[in-house]
Structure 1
Amino acid sequence: MAELISGFAVVYNSETTIGNFFREKIAPGAFDRSLVERPDVLALWNHNYDRPLGRTAAGTLELRSDRIGLWFGLNPDDTTPDGITAIGTVRRQDVRGCSFGFTVTRETWHEGDDAQLPLRIVEEATLWEVTLTPMPAYPETSAALSRACTNASAATERIRRKAEAAHRLRGIV
């Protein structure tokens, strides 16, 4: 079975500080339009376009926006060095967060006061990439390893277990 890395590349309404210049949060559904109009999004290793791990157009990256945030499911190639690195570091939880590359198309700013930095709310943006990274700007993001199981392989496994159980009942081992 193939390895699957999944989690939330974006957590909506989660606030972070960007470069100690301003605070930022992503509004729910900020990427919905982008996912429809520009459905080919890359999965990268640490924002490096020379290290692709998957892409939606190839069927190796799935993205879904829900009430929590932007969920991703990534099936990295375990025959490539970067795929092996991604699987290994996420498995060990050395990497357990994500980041994302985007262009803001609609935003709202709220001025801070002497004690608070200004707040940018990203209301709509074009999503270019999601990335696995050991140092995410948004610490609430997540990445974890699970086993990907296609319908065909799941069905094959169920048939194998049933046949095994039937053989045990008949005393055939």
Structure 2
Amino acid sequence: METRDAPAEQAGSTIRGYCALYSVPTTIGGEFIETIAPGAFTKTIATGDVLALLAHDWGRVLARQSAGTLRLKDTALGLAFELDADVSTPSGQEALGTVRQRAVKGCSFGFRVLWDDWSDDGPIPTRTIREIELHEISLLANPAYESTSAWVSSRAKTNNAAALQRIREKQRARGILR
């Protein structure tokens, strides 16, 4: 039987996803509807030093922007992230395990609003956030923004030279490769 999964010691330890999507209305605590405007994170990801945490717990740091282990990208869809979980730490192992099994599949973020607009035109107030000072992103089982996502990358982080060698040997044996 052949499989395409990398061995556990070589499996990707990169978690990817979207910690916020733009222009998606979300009801916050039944009190108001919140929407994040495109580009709300642009300044802060260029100048900040954002952390990746488990469940907003500052004692469970997974990655850091200034260390290069957390990469944030402002896309047309929203704020995308990649974090390199360290499997030598309990928090890194927990993050990979719970995201891989889909127990944790969403995100949240800790922030301060720098610019927003409010409207009372609907049945409940509406808030549009235009600029955010981002402090942290978090992997969560039950995020307020249900449209967020997190998944473990299926790409192996290391080149599997032994497997490639076996494939080449089989190709040579069949006369495909000389």
Deviation at 1:18, TM superposition (A): 1.4
The equivalent of 2:146 in structure 1 is: 139
The equivalent of 2:57 in structure 1 is: 48
Equivalent of 2:29, from 5, 19, 26? 19
1:34 equivalenced with 2:44 (yes/no):
yes
TM-score (norm 2): 0.83
2: CA distance, partners of 1:160 / 1:27 = 50
> Is the alpha carbon distance of 1:64 and 1:112 closer, same or farther for their aligned partners in structure 2, counting shifts above 3 Å?
same
1:90 equivalenced with 2:99 (yes/no):
yes
Deviation at 1:57, TM superposition (A): 1.1
TM-score (norm 1): 0.86
Query: Which has the larger share of helix?
Result: 1
2: CA distance, partners of 1:120 / 1:160 = 57
Deviation at 1:168, TM superposition (A): 3.1
1: CA distance, partners of 2:78 / 2:71 = 14
Q: Which amino acid aligns with 1:164?
A: E
* 1:98-117 to 2 correspondences below 5 Å: 98-113=107-122, 116-117=123-124
Aligned length: 165
> Is the alpha carbon distance of 1:142 and 1:165 closer, same or farther for their aligned partners in structure 2, counting shifts above 3 Å?
same
Deviation per CA, 1:78-126: give whole Å up to 9, x if none: 111111111111111111100011111111111144xx21011000111
CA RMSD of aligned residues (A): 2.1
The equivalent of 2:169 in structure 1 is: 164
1:69 equivalenced with 2:78 (yes/no):
yes
Deviation at 1:160, TM superposition (A): 3.7
Structure 2 unpaired stretches of 5+: 1-9
Deviation at 1:70, TM superposition (A): 0.5
Deviation at 1:161, TM superposition (A): 6.2
The DSSP-based 3-state class of the residue aligned with 1:33 is helix
Deviation at 1:162, TM superposition (A): 6.8
2: CA distance, partners of 1:164 / 1:76 = 34
2: CA distance, partners of 1:84 / 1:100 = 21
- Greater shift, 158-167 or 63-72, is seen at 158-167
Deviation at 1:50, TM superposition (A): 0.8
